[in-house]
């Protein structure tokens, strides 16, 4: 992967703990992982999944339970969480990709609601509304900075992984499906198979985000599997820009920092988010990335022609 891409991200990873509270900086990269996973579906395949919290949430519970009750080692918990994300997405995806457009969206949402209510009702296992408290971090990651560094490392690996996937023939076929499903089939691709695989890979990466989230606050909150979390991920990706690999990362950072800083002064702050959303949809369909590109080219033009 190009250093031109990795260097700014590496710089951000080093800088954020100096500028932000440790948990906020950590949360940014966790959400960035979730948004990157989601954007494989929205940005590359044209699938708006409104249920990504299903997979990150299930992985979050799996990791929380394994850490709390069995004290398993970090690699085992991570593999289990990623597998839980992939498996749940594989099953849910097999149903959802049978339909397109609005019906696809509603199916992903419906499965999210099912997962939420199972977690809500099955209090013996999940703690229901109270969440699953007392999740210990594995040895070595107890410190805030150590866990931050670990999360940032996971994030950078996820970026490299996603870059590799989206640059591959598989990634290009996904884009072809996004552009024109019918023609993609006509030139010889089993569209459903590709969609299912993208959905499952996104679930696996979401699983990684879920595992990290379980370890962040030492609790698996019910909110981890709530549809609002799915909505947050959609929102982050859209305000960042779904047209590029990096938009969702920017969106995750902007969203997390805004939520943290504004909510301290004004608890009706989601109104601002709503406003930002309207502005993005009306004027900057490509999100922050497009806004930045437009400002940059405008500035460049002004300098060229005084």
Partner 1 sequence: MAQAPLALMATLLEAEGLTKTFGALRAVAGVDLAVEAGSLHSVIGPNGAGKTTLFNLITGELPPTAGRITLDGHDITGRAPHAMPGLGIARSFQRNNLFPNLTVAQNVWTAAFARARHGLRLWRSAVGFADVAAAVAEALGEVGLASHGGRKAREMSHGDQRLLEVAIALASRPRLLLLDEPTSGLSPEETRRMMGLIRTLRGRYTILLIEHKMDLVMTVSDRITVMHFGSVLAEGPPTAIQGNADVRRAYLGTATALPTGP
**What DSSP element (H or E) covers 277?**
helix 270-283
Considering the rule CB under 8 A, would residue 18 count as an interface residue with partner 1? Answer: no
Among 27-35, 111-119, 131-139, 176-184, the segment contacting partner 1 (CB under 8 A):
176-184
Which of the 8 DSSP states describes residue 261? H
CB nearer to partner 1: pick between 139 and 182 = 182
Considering the rule CB under 8 A, would residue 171 count as an interface residue with partner 1? Answer: yes
CB nearer to partner 1: pick between 116 and 284 = 284
With the CA atoms of 253, 258, 263 and 269 taken in that order, what torsion angle do they form, in degrees rounded to the nearest 10? Answer: -120
For residue 106, how many other CB atoms are within 10 A of its CB? Answer: 14
Among 11-19, 92-100, 173-181, 231-239, the segment contacting partner 1 (CB under 8 A):
173-181
Retrieve residue 187's tokens: 């030139």
Tokens 């866990």, residue? Answer: 147
Considering the rule CB under 8 A, would residue 2 count as an interface residue with partner 1? Answer: no
CB nearer to partner 1: pick between 69 and 164 = 164
CB nearer to partner 1: pick between 86 and 276 = 86
**CA-atom Rg of the chain in angstroms:** 19
Closest by CA to 213, choosing from 94, 84, 59, 106, is 59
Q: Which residues pair with 220 in a beta bridge?
A: 132
Could you tell me the smallest distance in angstroms from the CB atom of residue 201 to partner 1? 8
CB nearer to partner 1: pick between 19 and 157 = 157
Among 17-25, 83-91, 106-114, 184-192, the segment contacting partner 1 (CB under 8 A):
184-192
CB nearer to partner 1: pick between 18 and 186 = 186
Considering the rule CB under 8 A, would residue 173 count as an interface residue with partner 1? Answer: yes
| Residues 187 to 206 in contact with partner 1, rule: CB under 8 A | 187-191, 197
DSSP 35-65: HHHHHIIIIII----S-HHHHHHHHHHHHHH
| Residues 196 to 255 in contact with partner 1, rule: CB under 8 A | 197
CB nearer to partner 1: pick between 26 and 39 = 39
Retrieve residue 211's tokens: 């595992």
Could you tell me the smallest distance in angstroms from the CB atom of residue 198 to partner 1? 10
Could you tell me the smallest distance in angstroms from the CB atom of residue 182 to partner 1? 7
Binding pattern to partner 1, positions 141-170, x when CB under 8 A?
Answer: -----------------------xx-xxxx
Within its chain, how far is the Cα of 64 from the centroid?
19
Considering the rule CB under 8 A, would residue 175 count as an interface residue with partner 1? Answer: yes
DSSP 205-243: HHHHHHHHHHHHSSEE-GGGGSHHHHHHHHHHHHHH-TT
| Cα separation, 112 vs 133, whole angstroms | 22
Query: Which residues contribute to the site for partner 1 (CB under 8 A)?
Result: 164-165, 167-173, 175-176, 179-180, 182-191, 197
């Amino acid at each position: 992967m190009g250093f031109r891409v990795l260097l700014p991200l590496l710089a951000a990873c080093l800088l954020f703990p100096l500028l932000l509270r440790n948990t906020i900086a950590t949360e940014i990269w966790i959400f960035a992982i979730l948004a990157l996973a989601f954007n494989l579906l929205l940005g590359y395949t044209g699938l708006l999944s409104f249920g990504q919290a299903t997979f990150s949430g299930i992985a979050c519970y799996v990791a929380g339970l394994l850490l709390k009750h069995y004290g398993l080692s970090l690699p085992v918990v991570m593999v289990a969480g990623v597998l839980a994300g992939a498996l749940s997405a594989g099953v849910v995806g097999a149903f959802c990709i049978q339909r397109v457009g609005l019906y696809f969206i509603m199916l992903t949402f419906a499965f999210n609601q099912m997962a939420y209510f199972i977690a809500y009702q099955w209090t013996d296992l999940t703690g229901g509304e109270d969440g699953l408290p007392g999740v210990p971090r594995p040895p070595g990651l107890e410190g805030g900075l150590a866990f931050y560094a670990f999360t940032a490392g996971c994030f950078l690996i996820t970026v490299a992984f996603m870059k590799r996937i989206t640059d591959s023939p598989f990634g290009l076929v996904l884009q072809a499906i996004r552009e024109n499903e019918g023609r993609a089939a006509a030139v010889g691709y089993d569209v459903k198979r590709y969609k299912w695989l993208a959905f499952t890979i996104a679930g696996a990466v979401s699983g990684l985000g879920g595992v990290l989230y379980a370890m962040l606050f030492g609790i698996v909150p019910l909110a981890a599997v709530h549809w609002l979390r799915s909505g947050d991920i959609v929102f982050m990706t859209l305000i960042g820009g779904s047209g590029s690999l990096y938009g969702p990362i920017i969106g995750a950072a902007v969203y997390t920092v805004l939520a943290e800083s504004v909510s301290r002064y004004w608890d009706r702050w989601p109104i601002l988010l709503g406003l930002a959303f309207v502005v993005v949809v009306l004027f900057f369909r490509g999100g922050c990335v497009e806004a930045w590109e437009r400002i940059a080219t405008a500035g460049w033009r002004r300098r060229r022609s005084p």
